[in-house]
Amino acid sequence: MLPKEPARRPQLGFLYIPPFRLQGLSIAGEETVVHVPELDLCFDIGLCPKAVLPAPIVALTHGHMDHVAGIAYYFSQRPFQGMTPGTVICHPELEKPLHNLMEAWVDIERQRTKYNLVPLAPGEQYEIKNNHHLKAFEAIHTVPALGYTVLEKRTRLKEEFVGLTQEQIVEHKKAGKEIVDTFHIPLITFTGDTAWGDHLTTDDVLQSKVLITECTFMEPGHRKRAGIGKHLHLDHILDLLEASSDETHIVLTHLSRRTHMGQVRKTLDRHVPERFRHRLLVLMDSRGNRARYEQQLAEAEANQVGND
Ligand SMILES: [Zn+2]
Ligand SMILES: [Zn+2]
């Protein structure tokens, strides 16, 4: 009998939650990386699968190997593939160790790779593109950890000026008056690995259009284990579904390799109330996500025909 062929590379998980694509891999302890092309942003880098290289910015949540291992390769491959040097956002406590890592590669490779490292303290923001800011918050894990929310800055004419002519508004502006209100819309939150805490019940998190979080433990008896490893359990996800906006899609990542996806679907169908089920997605549920995407395609096509 002939030996078998090696396993194929893992296929990236894919979800389209308009207007965002999420594409990446996430299995607890092995690899976590989630790319959002519409935001030019990647959360964590995992082993740096080639498909995420176009992301010019990577926001690292914490220093565990399954989230960071590909970082030197990311920095080195972008220029090699003709792209600008990458920028990596990290917890201030990771800044020095990551510089050390890049310095070690200079000795190993006998050449220097260009890279940008930006420490971001909890509460601070970094502009990722026009009017879009990445805001860091402190998460709770076994090592220093951040979560991130992407905020879109929008402005609206102050109520007192509504109804005035363009000329009148310009007059007020010239007189030095603030004519617009500025507000921030939370688009996507990525919690990274984390235990439960107040940082998960802020408006930024609960009002995000997409909330990507971890669910390392699902079985009813595993809540204590989740607490010890500073991870979340499905019970916490139910709390998040309850507290978040009706518009929020919650995407689960970081499930254990041991949990079979068929079993995951069954567990969710059994434990998640029907009214929430359509808002809860699993990044690595390739079968479920494919069916969902095909339905989106069919709907888009039907709309197109309707418009013709
Ligand atoms: Zn992890
Ligand atoms: Zn971790």
Whether 305 is covered by a domain: the verdict is no
Ligand nearest 62 Cα, by number? 2
For residue 29, report the distance from its CA to the centre of ligand 1, in Å. Answer: 5
For residue 26, report the distance from its CA to the centre of ligand 1, in Å. Answer: 9
Which CATH number fits the domain that encloses residue 27?
3.60.15.10
More reliable by pLDDT, 218 or 237: 237
Residue 109 in 3-state DSSP? Answer: helix
For residue 264, report the distance from its CA to the centre of ligand 1, in Å. Answer: 18
Provide the residue type at 99 as one letter: H
Handedness of CA 287, 289, 294, 295 (dihedral sign): positive
pTM of the model: 0.94
For residue 193, report the distance from its CA to the centre of ligand 2, in Å. Answer: 5
Whether 219 is covered by a domain: the verdict is yes
For residue 109, report the distance from its CA to the centre of ligand 1, in Å. Answer: 28
Q: Is 72 exposed, middle or buried (0-12, 13-18, 19+ CB in 10 A)?
A: buried
Least confident of 15-24, 120-129, 133-142, 220-229: 220-229
More reliable by pLDDT, 177 or 100: 100
The count of domains in the chain is 1
Do residues 282 and 264 touch, judged by C-beta distance below 8 A?
A: yes
Whether 4 is covered by a domain: the verdict is no
| C-alpha to C-alpha distance for 233 and 222, rounded to whole angstroms | 7
For residue 254, report the distance from its CA to the centre of ligand 1, in Å. Answer: 7
Ligand nearest 29 Cα, by number? 1
Assigned token pair, 271 = 């434990």
Whether 61 is covered by a domain: the verdict is yes
Do residues 305 and 272 touch, judged by C-beta distance below 8 A?
A: no
Whether 55 is covered by a domain: the verdict is yes
* Strand partners of residue 134: 126, 150
Reported as a single tens digit per residue, the pLDDT across 176-205 is: 989 999 999 999 999 999 999 999 999 999
Residue 256 in 3-state DSSP? Answer: coil
Residue 263 belongs to what domain range? 13-299
Whether 134 is covered by a domain: the verdict is yes
Whether 125 is covered by a domain: the verdict is yes
Ligand nearest 64 Cα, by number? 2
Task: Answer yes or no: is pLDDT of 257 > 80.
Answer: yes
Reported as a single tens digit per residue, the pLDDT across 123-182 is: 999 999 999 999 999 999 999 999 999 999 999 999 988 888 889 889 988 999 899 999
- Residue 223: which pLDDT band, with cuts at 50, 70 and 90? confident
Provide the residue type at 152 as one letter: E
For residue 300, report the distance from its CA to the centre of ligand 2, in Å. Answer: 38
Whether 140 is covered by a domain: the verdict is yes
For residue 75, report the distance from its CA to the centre of ligand 2, in Å. Answer: 22
Reported as a single tens digit per residue, the pLDDT across 45-74 is: 999 999 999 999 999 999 999 999 999 999
Please tell me the predicted confidence (pLDDT) of residue 280.
97
For residue 34, report the distance from its CA to the centre of ligand 1, in Å. Answer: 13
